[in-house]
Amino acid sequence: MLYTRRNPTCAQAINSTVLGNLNVTKKTIFTVHGFRPTGSPPVWMEDLVEGLLSVDDMNVVVVDWNQGATTVIYNHASRKTRKVAIVLKEFIDQMLAEGASLDDIYMIGVSLGAHVAGFVGKMYNGQLGRITGLDPAGPLFNGRPPEDRLDPSDAQFVDVIHSDIDGMQYFKCDHQRSVYLYLSSLRENCTITAYPCDSYRDYRNGKCVNCGISQTESCPLLGYYADNWKDYLRERDPPMTKAFFDTAEEKPFCSEW
């Protein structure tokens, strides 16, 4: 389903042979939902589409794989992720044939959708412009080799928000919290700075990078604008950075400490 500023509230059905209003010269963002045991659409999808179109004139493609994701048996849904990725590659191939660039393709995947995005990226040898994983699904993927899950090598820039990981005796957040944190980054008055650090314990003990005014280059913002720091982050050794942050308990989640 395609949304643009020409049709911001009424989706246009598209497929690999009918691209509709999609302008291949503009950035295209694919949003991929995850496991849907009840079959209901994600409650945040409308807000995500609206937020993305508010910050840039782009194509937003909502990937509806509810038929595969709707089941009470998680394993069944997880096995469909590669099939969804193959269908998406067919669509992107058509975009490329009509003049699109892989640099302008950005995939946002939630839960199982994050691994769908990763599988698409692998089929393009990591040349997609960007992948954002929002709480990538853990069961059946954690501990697997890179070819079987989302991996930092799957795009030119891969950023992941983990909001529901156990650890360090701190309460983890709801599995959907990462989506709302990302949504908050689309609002001009809400920025969350991420502090590069080796561990959450070090972060809590103030042993991380100083993110004062003179060090802003080394401290990325969470969410949509994180890729403004991609050149700096990719030059780090190793080129994978852990960063930590605090949030407020309620929307829009911005927090200063």
Please choose, from the candidates 135, 91, 128, 92, the residue with its C-alpha nearest in 3D space to the C-alpha of residue 112.
Answer: 135
Question: Among residues 175, 199, 218, 246, which one is catalytic?
Answer: 175
Question: Among residues 78, 111, 184, 185, which one is catalytic?
Answer: 111
Identify any residues that bridge with 7 across adjacent strands, giving them in sequence order. 4
Question: Among residues 78, 104, 135, 151, which one is catalytic?
Answer: 135
Computed from CA positions of residues 183, 185, 191, 194, in that sequence, does the dihedral angle turn out positive or negative? positive
Instruction: Establish whether 104 is a catalytic residue.
Output: no
Instruction: Establish whether 33 is a catalytic residue.
Output: no
Instruction: Establish whether 255 is a catalytic residue.
Output: no
SS (H, E, C) 73-112: CHHHHHHCHHHHHHHHHHHHHHHHHCCCCHHHEEEEEECH
Active-site residue list: 111, 135, 175
